[in-house]
Structure 1
Amino acid sequence: MTKFPIIQTNIWDSLWAAPIIIVLTEILKVMLPIRSQYISTIATAIGLIISIFISHPHDLSAGISMGFFYSGAAIGSYSSIKTSLTSYRNRA
């Protein structure tokens, strides 16, 4: 029976990864004609790249799983900020 991998990360990885993913995604949106349905896929790819190659370069399973967490945090934060700003602008 295979044991689950032990994934060690620190809070600083989470605090810088999500904002970097948001910023890089916004830069790509400005520079390239990207359709809106592909934005979350691009954010996930950026999160996986950051996690596999920077945060967890010696543990592929940890890099993959944390990459999905980083990109999920970035996508959720972006969606929350966008919804809040839209609601604020449209209030009566």
Structure 2
Amino acid sequence: MELFPVIHTNFWDAIIAVPVVMVITQAIKAGLKIPKKFVPLVALFLGLCISIFISHRHHLVAGFFMGWFYGYGAIGNYAALKTSIKAYRGGK
């Protein structure tokens, strides 16, 4: 019996899931006028939903584990992109 699931990072995880979470989060943010402090929570929720119900639907623990990576990966990528653009423009 295996205590922890074997989780393989594949093309979906690395190239598709995190950008999908970022795009959907930005669409929700623009469409529903969510306060800025709740946007990371929305990204985490989307990451968990995509992982649990699409990517790893046959293993709940793997779904939660990878969902955290999807959500927090999207949050980190957005923050890095925003900081880079601000630095490039020379603004604050």
Q: TM-score if structure 1 supplies the norm length?
A: 0.89
Equivalent residues in 2 for 1:60-79 (5 A)? Answer: 60-79=60-79
Is 1:24 equivalent to 2:24 in the alignment?
Answer: yes
Can you give the 5+ residue segments of structure 2 that lack an aligned partner in the other structure? none
Instruction: Give the deviation of 1:89 after TM superposition.
Output: 1.1
Separation (CA, whole Å) in 1 of partners of 2:52 and 2:82: 28
SS at match of 2:62: helix
Moved more, 26-35 or 9-18: 9-18
Can you give the 5+ residue segments of structure 1 that lack an aligned partner in the other structure? none
Separation (CA, whole Å) in 1 of partners of 2:32 and 2:71: 20
Equivalent residues in 2 for 1:1-92 (5 A)? Answer: 3-90=3-90
Instruction: Give the deviation of 1:30 after TM superposition.
Output: 0.9
Q: Deviations over 1:45-89 (max 9, x none)?
A: 000010001100110000000000111111111000000001111
Overall identity of the aligned pairs, in %: 46
Number of matched residues?
90
